[in-house]
Amino acid sequence: MAVTGKIRKLLPLRPCGAVIVAAGNASRMGGIDKVMALLGGEPVIARTVRTFQECDCISEIVIVTREDLVAPVSSLCGGYSKVQAVITGGSTRQESVKRGLSLLSGRMQLAAVHDAARPLVTPAVIDRTVRAAHSHHAAAPAIAVKDTIKEVAGGFVRSTPDRAYLRAVQTPQVFDIDILKVALKKAEDDGIAVTDDCSAVEYLGMSVKIVEGDERNIKITTPMDLKLGEMLLEERT
């Protein structure tokens, strides 16, 4: 049994490419462009891409962003050896992810989709999620929900889900690349708007493996998040 355990650890992971999505309009940032905002003196997008560049489990990177950011993002991140392209996204997140997937090489068997606005993701979270997807075909990091969640309709509470079963899902979300492509097309064909890539895969009837996320893997969506990010960076040093 001990020998078998060692053999499993030596088995190589299937090649994984990352699609980093930075095509949002940052409507809640009060005029600040969240992916170009400075965090610890470095643009958010550059910090995000560098983490994926340094991960051994990531072989390629495609960055999907707004048309007006293609040139500046290319200047910041185009020098990384794993970056295959910096391209313009679509009108929806689904379309942006599809465009990014299309530019990963045919050698990639897994795809990790990550929000560029999560610059504090750690290599450990990326590696853990890729390894889970390698075994289970679909995986995502998540953390336990601390607050009591209420389902509300018409301004009144309709139900109170048991938070023991609730998780706040993060990115990267990692999938067999062919499964994700089929899932996104199915959602599009059926007119289903999904808020994350797990939802598209779930719509196919597939299960998604949840792995331990990180409370520091926050998404920058408001100016307050930038302040929190600065505090979290200081804790790392």
What does the pLDDT look like over 109-137, one tens digit per residue? Answer: 999 999 999 999 999 999 999 999 999 99
| Neighbouring residues of 8: CB distance < 8 A, sequence distance ≥ 6 | none
Strand-strand pairing, 60-65 and 16-22: parallel
Do the beta carbons of residue 94 and residue 64 sit within 8 Å? no
Whether 10 has a pLDDT exceeding 60, the answer reads no
pLDDT category of residue 8 using cuts at 50, 70 and 90:
very low
Whether 28 has a pLDDT exceeding 90, the answer reads no
The pLDDT assigned to 42 comes to 95
DSSP three-state, residue 62: strand
pTM: 0.92
Arithmetic mean of pLDDT, 156-162: 97
Residue 153: enclosing H or E segment and its boundaries?
strand 151-153
* Cα angle for residues 123, 129, 135 (degrees, 5° grid): 135
| Tokens coding 58 | 């990531």
pLDDT category of residue 23 using cuts at 50, 70 and 90:
confident
DSSP three-state, residue 122: coil
Dump pLDDT digits (tens) for 176-214: 999 999 999 999 999 998 889 999 999 999 999 999 999
Q: What percent of the chain has pLDDT over 70?
A: 92
The pLDDT assigned to 6 comes to 47
The pLDDT assigned to 46 comes to 97
